Amino acid sequence: MTVYDLAENQYGRPRAAKALAGAAREPYWLDDPERPDALPALDTDAETDLAVVGGGYTGLWTALMAKERNPGRRVMLLEASRIAWAASGRNGGFCEASLTHGESNGLKHLPDEAEQLDRLGRENLREMAETIQRYGIDCGFELTGSLSVATEAHQVQWLEEEADADNPDLVFLDRDEVRKEVDSPLYLAGLWDRTSTALLNPARLAWGLQRAALEAGVEIYENTPVRNIRNAGAKVRLLTDSGTVTADRVALATNVFPSLLKRTRLFTVPVYDYALMTEPLSADQLAAIGWHNRQGLSDLNNRFHYYRLTTDRDGAARILFGGYDAVYNYGRSMKPEYEHREETYERLASHFAATFPQLADVSFSHAWGGAIDTCSRFFAFFTTAFGGKVAFSAGYTGLGVGATRFGANVMLDLLSGKETERTELQMVKRKPLPFPPEPVAWLGVKITTAAMVRADRRQGRRGPWLKAMDAVGMGFDS
């Protein structure tokens, strides 16, 4: 059994349910009195130079940078609901430099480009920070770095092997050292990557990009779902409920939602992830855990947790605690009722109490979930359609807060028709393996999830099924 299996037995459902009793079932980030008012829906036919479909990070970055590249270009962004209502307003606010869901995953899939992609990812994070500062986006951006923690004895060696004596920004911490950083009795070791991760308020980042885009002249229409896309000679037509948009170029930034390009739909599956936010912590409670350097944390299990400190507008500190369960529903289905899962909330509450027993009496103010656009290689892929007039990007697999900006640049490059360093990447030219249709996809995910649970309980040893998935390039990681 893992330490988290023991935690569920020790802290029990009644205790977890009590801690969750007053929690609002909505994303903490979106429960913000300064959330922008809704923008009008499209109510007429229109023509534009560039149409962007989707108002999450990918679409917002695409629209804003399109105007930065060519201020005279007419750009329209069409969002089916509200800006940031989906993944961009529901994630943990971890903004990582990696474009490939971690160095080891990049080496596995694109070994010849790993060094180049690392450089491009760090450039992207630096440019993102500069953009946030330039536009005055108040999203709490802070370059804290990340701390990976070993909670099982066999994981200590993994961290020792990953540490780099020649890299002062990648520091191995033994048990005493890691507990000086963040005090949890579960921690046996840690690896602090000082420079590759920033933390931010994800919804406020999206709203800041929305404001910057509007000020740059982008036309944004909310509550305007695009129902169909059609080739129209030299142009492309988008059909909405109340008008047709005719565009020279189209960027599809719908991510987890069913693609308007049917041939891309098998490349992603929606996987639901869940998180909790604590009530504000007192000064004594904060002192009991340390965490003075405010790193973003995660453990090393197949079913991993991610957690971080955040700060309210009044300066009060809270802890976001999420992950572990990654839930796929039959048929690639997405429904509002999937955004909440009491079983997972109670599990996370018990794991939180085991991680920080000094905070075992802390209650939670918010509990929520959302869908992640998962692909089989765990990082973004790209394609074009209609003779290069349409570009599409998806598959960020939960690591899109920073990588979507890079993906937006790739789509703009592709739509320009010019070769760039980005368009020549194998990352851009090659696609992941598609997931099979149902019922094979559902059965495969269930078998893989069970195999991951067994591996966590067997000192990380991957059994025949996981080894086979690794061999074909579909090794699942929650």
**What are the beta bridge partners of residue 277?**
320, 366
Q: Give how far the C-alpha of residue 333 lies from the chain's centroid of Cα atoms, to the nearest Å.
A: 19
Give 58-115 pLDDT, tens digit per residue: 999 999 999 999 999 999 999 999 999 999 999 999 999 999 998 889 999 999 999 9
Confidence class of residue 173 from pLDDT cuts 50, 70 and 90? very high
Instruction: For 157, list phi and psi in degrees, rounded to 5.
Output: -65, -35
Q: Which residues contact 97 (CB under 8 A, 6 or more apart)?
A: 118, 121, 122, 124, 125, 195, 196, 197, 402
What percentage of the chain has pLDDT greater than the value 90?
A: 85
Q: Which of 57-61, 186-190, 300-304 has the lowest average pLDDT?
A: 300-304
Cβ neighbour number for residue 123 with a 10 Å cutoff: 12
Give 39-51 pLDDT, tens digit per residue: 999 999 999 999 9
What percentage of the chain has pLDDT greater than the value 70?
A: 99
Nearest-5° Cα angle at 157, 154 to 162: 135
Amino acid present at 134:
R
Give 342-376 pLDDT, tens digit per residue: 999 999 999 999 999 999 889 999 999 999 999 99
Q: Which of 116-130, 203-217, 449-463 has the lowest average pLDDT?
A: 449-463
The answer to whether the beta carbons of residues 203 and 60 sit under 8 Å apart is no
Which ranges in 356-391 belong to alpha helices (H)?
Answer: none
**Per-position b or e across 412-440, b if 16+ CB within 10 A of its CB:** bbbbeeeeeebbebebbeeebebbeeeee
The answer to whether the beta carbons of residues 99 and 406 sit under 8 Å apart is yes
Q: Look at the block and give the residue holding tokens 């790739």.
A: 410
**Per-position b or e across 93-114, b if 16+ CB within 10 A of its CB:** bbbbbbbbbbbebbbbbbeebb
Give 112-138 pLDDT, tens digit per residue: 999 999 999 999 999 999 999 999 999
Give 394-441 pLDDT, tens digit per residue: 999 999 999 999 999 999 999 999 999 999 999 999 999 999 999 998
**pLDDT of 209 over the 50 cut:** yes
Give 235-285 pLDDT, tens digit per residue: 999 999 999 999 999 999 999 999 999 999 999 999 999 999 999 999 999
Which ranges in 249-309 belong to alpha helices (H)?
Answer: 283-289
**pLDDT of 477 over the 50 cut:** no
Cβ neighbour number for residue 403 with a 10 Å cutoff: 27
pTM score of the predicted model? 0.95
Tokens (6 digits) for 65: 């940078």
The pLDDT score that the predictor gives to residue 478 is 42
The answer to whether the beta carbons of residues 396 and 373 sit under 8 Å apart is yes
